[in-house]
Chains A and B, each alone.
Chain A
Amino acid sequence: MIFFSLLLTFIGMFLLYRSSAKQITKAKATQQQFLKRFKTQISISAFVCFLVALSLLCLKYGNSVGFISWWIFATPVTFMLVLLVNELKSNKK
């Protein structure tokens, strides 16, 4: 259950990342159109993912601990995502 909620949080964060204004401008032309057109829907699906992840955690831990554990779990998951999506190597010329 924890694994699924972590996965859903990761997917949600990734969707938010892809639909962010900065990423839309960087995306390929074909993707750009899609992202621009469905920006709201993608954001909504991201929040649905968060909601499901939160519900799973609430089922496991109870409401209060479940709520806290969601944002505590979201921190390392998002940090991993940030490390994955950004270029971390030095551009040696």
Chain B
Amino acid sequence: MFTLLAKTHWGKPDFGRRIVWLIFGFKLKMQNKGVRQSMAWLHAWTGLVFGWLLFAIFLMGTSSYYRHQINLWMQPQLSQYQINQATAIQTASQYLEKNAVDAKSWYLNIANHEEPVNKIYWEKATGGYESRNLDANTGQELKLSATQGGDFFYNFHFQLYGLPILIGRLMICIAAFIMLIALVSGIITHKKIFTDFFTLRTFKSQRSWLDFHNVSSVLALPFFLTITFTGLAIFFYLYLPWGMKKLYPDNPFQYFTEIRSINQNSEHLAAPIKTEMRSINTLLETVKQQWGDQALASIEVKNPNTDHATITFKQLEDRSITLNQAQITFDAHGKVLANTRNESAVATLNAGVYGLHMATFAQPVLRFAFFCSGILGCLMIASGLLLWSLKRQIQNKSQQFHFGYYLVDRLNIAAFIGLPIAMLSYLFANRFVHITETTPNYEIYAFFSAWGLSLLLAFFTKKQYLWKSQVFIFGLIALALPIYDFVYLINHRLISDLSNYWLFLRIDLFLFVCALFAVFIFRNIQPIQEKSAQKIKTKLANANNEVKA
């Protein structure tokens, strides 16, 4: 672009002015416009440029509310496990005593009904970490499928895929920042927030899309503002790293250790000495005396088998925004220590930002409401982008082919229908191939292949069949997957009773609802398209009449 610019304009007397116009073009363009019009321009263009990425982030993030459930769906053999947390703790601690006796720290994620496997990792004495998945009943190492499960969606929504983590996260930060700008400019642009609060006029072409965009935005506005701001604030250290670098010049990431817990070892100046610490099972008895049969989330042991050892038990249930679920910390001799959690204002704010974004406090019904708000966010972005495209096609007074509109239309389809198709393909692939540590991850291949194919198909499909063809594919997969899943589970004898089947059925039912939604869109998209086409034709006819007159 710059080469072309230099060839065409270089050496001309007004070259400098043209460059300034190009760079600050929008500023000059906005000079004669009011605040609201300028904001509308900003809202439309920031929304367009980042809309597809934001849609992917929103959809993946929304799915992540149920990532543990998706994990379990994608590892069906785990549904067979019966969990007893006392046994799970005993077997895991025995494993750690045997295999990581010299480690600097142990971390045990205790098996529970949503994650029926003990996940352990430890920091080796020589540096670095090791992790294992253990059978909660026997303590044997498990060779699970190497599927990423719901974690793939979760990771994608904050660091994308296939990019260096830092670059991916920075791109997400920029997108979140743009989202915040789009939200604020949208609020300023929207003249009748309260008057049109309940208004939704359907089958009225551009007006309907605008109404739907307004309704979906305004209803969940507090959610959008919160989720965007907290998402941006979580990664503050990427775009504002100087504070951490100044306070912790040697290791800026020490901040994360200190923000979580008060360092008990600061009192111990001497190096830790090997000693026999109180066994985890004995400490568990004390924990049970205090908490009863409350389910536990994790056990963290720092400096195990030394006189500096600290053993922290955390409860599973967390009904706080600031992630302060109940915890008990013991020293090596089994003495209960004072609270080791960092409860300073900054630490609480930090935990609150995380808590609000992750919504770990949300119980099933509330979690579902969060999920609905996330889906509404996807609908808001989709309707905004469709509105952008339609509005410009109506305003365009020529019937000539316009590459920009063609591209936006195709990218819209690839994002709004192609991405859900890709997500379903990812789930479908899980039922066809068993992935191990050594084989390539065919599920992720399936995800990106389906997404790419959807884009390719969109480029070669006529506009009138664009929506119908892709919605049909989506509906077909969404309908076939639950049926195939049922057959798969029966064939592999993975259903022992109804409660066991419910772990799969809840996702299958959701897919079935998606299929019904696809049928609804398939049946109603034609009248919507006809209405829009009619409006465009009328505008063109009017424009032609004006020219003739």
Within A7-52, the residues touching B (CB, 8 Å) are 16-17, 20-22
Q: Does A68 contact B (CB under 8 A)?
A: yes
Residues of chain A lying within 8 A (CB to CB) of residue B195:
20-22
Could you name 19 residue pairs across A and B whose Cβ atoms are closer than 8 Å?
Answer: A16-B197, A20-B198, A21-B195, A61-B319, A62-B320, A64-B321, A65-B321, A65-B361, A68-B321, A68-B356, A72-B369, A72-B370, A74-B219, A75-B376, A81-B198, A87-B201, A88-B200, A91-B203, A92-B527
Do A73 and B197 form a contact, CB below 8 Å, given A64-B321, A65-B321, A79-B219? Answer: no
- Bound state CA distance, A67 and B216, in angstroms? 21
- Bound state CA distance, A16 and B198, in angstroms? 9
- Bound state CA distance, A64 and B366, in angstroms? 14
Which residues of B approach A to under 8 Å, CB–CB? 194-195, 197-203, 215-216, 219-220, 222-223, 319-321, 356, 361-363, 365-366, 369-370, 372-373, 376, 524, 527
Report yes or no: B527 in contact with A75, Cβ–Cβ below 8 A: no
Report yes or no: B366 in contact with A73, Cβ–Cβ below 8 A: yes
Report yes or no: B198 in contact with A86, Cβ–Cβ below 8 A: yes
- Bound state CA distance, A78 and B202, in angstroms? 17
Residues of chain A lying within 8 A (CB to CB) of residue B203:
90-91
Main secondary structure of the interface of A (DSSP, over half): helix
Contact of A86 among B199, B219, B524 (CB under 8 A): B199
Residues of chain B lying within 8 A (CB to CB) of residue A73:
366, 369
Report yes or no: B366 in contact with A86, Cβ–Cβ below 8 A: no
- Bound state CA distance, A53 and B356, in angstroms? 21
Report yes or no: A65 in contact with B200, Cβ–Cβ below 8 A: no
Do A87 and B202 form a contact, CB below 8 Å, given A62-B319, A65-B361, A72-B370? Answer: yes
- Bound state CA distance, A61 and B321, in angstroms? 11
Do A72 and B219 form a contact, CB below 8 Å, given A81-B198, A83-B200, A91-B203? Answer: no
Do A65 and B320 form a contact, CB below 8 Å, given A76-B372, A88-B202? Answer: yes
- Bound state CA distance, A20 and B197, in angstroms? 9
| Most interface-central of B356, B369, B524 (chain A CB within 10 A) | B369
- Whole-angstrom distance between the Cβ of B537 and the nearest chain A Cβ: 17
| Most interface-central of A72, A78, A82 (chain B CB within 10 A) | A72
Residues of chain B lying within 8 A (CB to CB) of residue A61:
319, 361, 363, 366
- Bound state CA distance, A79 and B377, in angstroms? 12
Do A71 and B222 form a contact, CB below 8 Å, given A2-B365, A76-B369? Answer: yes
- Bound state CA distance, A73 and B219, in angstroms? 11
Residue total for A at the interface (Cβ-Cβ under 8 A): 31
Residues of chain B lying within 8 A (CB to CB) of residue A72:
223, 362, 366, 369-370, 373
- Bound state CA distance, A83 and B376, in angstroms? 13
Residues of chain B lying within 8 A (CB to CB) of residue A65:
319-321, 361, 366
- If A61-B319, A81-B198, A90-B203 are given as contacts, then 16 extra A-B residue pairs at C-beta distance below 8 Å, sorted by A number, are A17-B198, A20-B197, A20-B198, A22-B199, A61-B361, A65-B321, A72-B366, A72-B370, A73-B366, A75-B219, A76-B372, A78-B198, A79-B216, A79-B219, A82-B200, A88-B202
Residues of chain B lying within 8 A (CB to CB) of residue A75:
219-220, 223, 369, 372-373, 376
The chain A residue with its CB closest to the CB of B212 is A82
Do A82 and B321 form a contact, CB below 8 Å, given A76-B373, A91-B203? Answer: no
- Bound state CA distance, A61 and B317, in angstroms? 13
- Bound state CA distance, A65 and B362, in angstroms? 8
Residues of chain A lying within 8 A (CB to CB) of residue B370:
72
Residues of chain A lying within 8 A (CB to CB) of residue B373:
72, 75-76
| Most interface-central of B194, B365, B366 (chain A CB within 10 A) | B366
The chain A residue with its CB closest to the CB of B226 is A68
Residues of chain A lying within 8 A (CB to CB) of residue B220:
75
Residues of chain A lying within 8 A (CB to CB) of residue B223:
71-72, 75
Residues of chain B lying within 8 A (CB to CB) of residue A81:
198
Report yes or no: B222 in contact with A82, Cβ–Cβ below 8 A: no
Residues of chain B lying within 8 A (CB to CB) of residue A91:
203
- Bound state CA distance, A52 and B75, in angstroms? 43
Q: Does A55 contact B (CB under 8 A)?
A: no
Residues of chain A lying within 8 A (CB to CB) of residue B372:
75-76, 79
- Whole-angstrom distance between the Cβ of B219 and the nearest chain A Cβ: 5
Those 8 A-B pairs whose CB atoms lie nearest each other, nearest first = A76-B372, A86-B200, A75-B220, A90-B203, A72-B369, A90-B527, A17-B198, A71-B222
- Bound state CA distance, A79 and B198, in angstroms? 9
Residues of chain B lying within 8 A (CB to CB) of residue A62:
319-320
Residues of chain A lying within 8 A (CB to CB) of residue B321:
64-65, 68
Contact of B376 among A79, A88, A90 (CB under 8 A): A79
Residues of chain A lying within 8 A (CB to CB) of residue B362:
69, 72
Report yes or no: A69 in contact with B202, Cβ–Cβ below 8 A: no
Report yes or no: B202 in contact with A86, Cβ–Cβ below 8 A: yes
The chain B residue with its CB closest to the CB of A2 is B365
- Whole-angstrom distance between the Cβ of A67 and the nearest chain B Cβ: 10
